[in-house]
Amino acid sequence: MEDVAQNCPVEDESGTIAIAPGLNARILQPGYGRAAVIGDYADTNVWLWLFDEEAEDRHGKVIWESGANVFQFQLGSGQVIKGWDMGVPCMLEGETRELVVAGDLAYGNAVRGEIPPNATLIFNIELLRVKAPE
């Protein structure tokens, strides 16, 4: 397997990882395992907030958390929003990452429950395990 880290964006001096326009990350807890790649199945714990420039740490209203239920998806398969398919690759097992996802990489103009159209979202994603497809 190719060295994934060679193709991964790195933190700038402020600790921000600019993944793509409208998609930034920050490592909250460093990982210890291998890096996630497109095609992997990812087991995660997730917390979701609306982005609010005025709120503490920009975390506005809490929208959802996975709680005791592990949320699993396959990277790059379109099972999750584009911001996740772009922001979870390169995470290491055991890592917790904050993703700030602009509306066009989240749900666009669609309304999703308490998420208004074109909302910027903040996700904290804990990558518990990655598994290559069989």
Average pLDDT, the chain: 94
Q: Is the pLDDT of residue 134 over 90?
A: no
- Burial per residue of 109-133, b for 16 or more beta-carbon CB atoms within 10 angstroms, e otherwise: eeeeeebeeebbbbbbbbbbebeee
Entry field: residues in the chain? 134
Q: How does pLDDT run across 21-53, given as a tens digit for each residue?
A: 999 999 999 999 899 999 999 999 999 999 999
Band (pLDDT 50/70/90 cuts) for residue 4 is low
- What global pTM score does this model have? 0.93
**Phi, psi at 118, each rounded to 5°:** 60, 25
